[in-house]
Amino acid sequence: MFANMELAWETLDENLKEKIKNKKAIHSSLGGAFFTDNYEAMESNGNHAEYTNEHPIVRTHPETEKKILFVNWTYTKKIIGLEKKESDEILEKIFEHQARLDLTCRFRWTENAVAIWDNRSVQHYAISDFFPGRGLGYERIMDRIAIEGDRPN
């Protein structure tokens, strides 16, 4: 499933837009830990220690020049400059808004299907309906490509 972060920004409540405009948030590398009980022991984890980065909550796409919500429920932990309670409340509203069905697209895997998306403006949520035994009748192979990106602004 994919969520369009440009549409999420455009349809966000105006009062909420004002609260987050020009704010940054802390993003944690440990967000993915919820995927598995044994996250720290995973060889592919790459970095067992937490590292964090600050990113703008709203960024501008470098090619389309459109505003985009640049937070997600997995990695975004706190809005800088706000008390934790207020930050949590605002982030929860944003995360709920991003999950609205009218902002999402469900991709149905079929034989020889290919999905490509721009992580700068789309959020991806993998729904585990493609594992063996789900009756697809074919193997799903994933190749992930990451390119060097720009600095969010």
Q: Cα dist. 41→27, 47, 49 in Å?
A: 22, 10, 12
Q: Which of 52, 88, 60 is nearest to 73 (CA)?
A: 88
Residues 82, 20 contacting (CB under 8 angstroms): no
Q: Could you tell me the pLDDT band of residue 29, with boundaries at 50, 70 and 90?
A: confident
Residues 6+ apart with CB under 8 A from 139: 132
Distance CA 103, CA 61 (A): 18
Beta bridge partners of 2: 105, 124
Distance CA 75, CA 35 (A): 12
Does the pLDDT value for residue 32 go beyond 70? no
pTM: 0.77
Per the structure block, which two tokens stand in for 146? Answer: 């990451």
The CATH code for residues 2-124 is 3.60.130.10
Instruction: Specify which of 34-38, 66-70, 84-88, 101-105 reaches the highest per-range mean pLDDT.
Output: 84-88
95-153 pLDDT, tens digit per residue, is 999 988 888 888 777 778 888 888 778 777 666 655 555 555 566 676 777 777 777 77
Q: What angle do CA 65, 67, 73 make, to 5 degrees?
A: 135
Does the pLDDT value for residue 55 go beyond 80? yes
Residues 53, 35 contacting (CB under 8 angstroms): no
Q: Is 106 helix (H, G, I), strand (E, B) or coil?
A: coil
Distance CA 7, CA 11 (A): 6
